[in-house]
Amino acid sequence: MYCNICGNSKENISIFNLKICKSCLGEIENLNIEDANYDYYKNLMRIFLGYYVNTPLILNSVN
């Protein structure tokens, strides 16, 4: 299994339905607003959350 961000195939962990390697996770954790990659990772996290939010909801209908 490969990291969904950089394609690295080692030391990956799963977050929701995505795979991310420790290298990318460390970059995200150490990110600050001045970082040129901030918008890039911010968008990635939005995608992560999108995957999470888009998991099917089971609604109970009231009869």
Give the residues lining the site for Zn ion (CB under 5 A).
Answer: 3, 5-6, 8, 21, 24
- Which residue's CB is nearer to Zn ion, number 16 or number 58? 16
CB of 60 to Zn ion, least distance (A): 39
- Which residue's CB is nearer to Zn ion, number 21 or number 48? 21
CA distance linking residue 3 with residue 58, whole number of Å: 30
Query: Residue holding tokens 């911010």?
Result: 42
The CA–CA distances, whole Å, from 12 to 8, 15, 21, 41, 63 equal: 8, 10, 4, 17, 46
- Which residue's CB is nearer to Zn ion, number 13 or number 49? 13
